[in-house]
Amino acid sequence: MAELTSLDKKIKRRQKKLDKIDKSLQEEREKEKRSIGKSRKAEKQADKTSSEKKKENKWQTIRKETTNRAKALKKQSRLLKKQDKYNKKLKEYEFQRDQAEDEKEETEEKE
């Protein structure tokens, strides 16, 4: 019985961590989308203008947003790896809990 409650607690903790990871992933995806949008907007404006200084500023913006996008993608990659790790552990705990429940039922049937 104590083993079941401890496994349930572990499962709940892992689930909370997975929820946080999902939220972080969404935020990073939004950052990536914003960077892409800003970059495209700057590129269009650079094409329209004839001033060299304005073009240079727009290309600097594009480079900056490309860097921001790369950072967002890198963080997404780390979060996905972490999410995979937590999912594996969660499945392991659920399997252990199911085994413990089966053993408990078997001992109750014997009595």
Q: Which residue has the higher pLDDT, 77 or 101?
A: 77
User: What DSSP assignment string belongs to 48-98?
Assistant: H---HHHHHHHHHHHHHHHHHHHHHHHHHHHHHHHHHHHHHHHHHHHHHHH
Number of Cβ within 10 Å of residue 42's Cβ equals: 20
Residue 20 has pLDDT above 90, yes or no: yes
Residue 44 pLDDT grade (very low, low, confident, very high; cuts 50, 70, 90):
confident
pLDDT the model gives residue 2? 64
Residue 24 pLDDT grade (very low, low, confident, very high; cuts 50, 70, 90):
very high
Every domain of the chain and the residues it spans? 2-110
Residue 85 pLDDT grade (very low, low, confident, very high; cuts 50, 70, 90):
very high
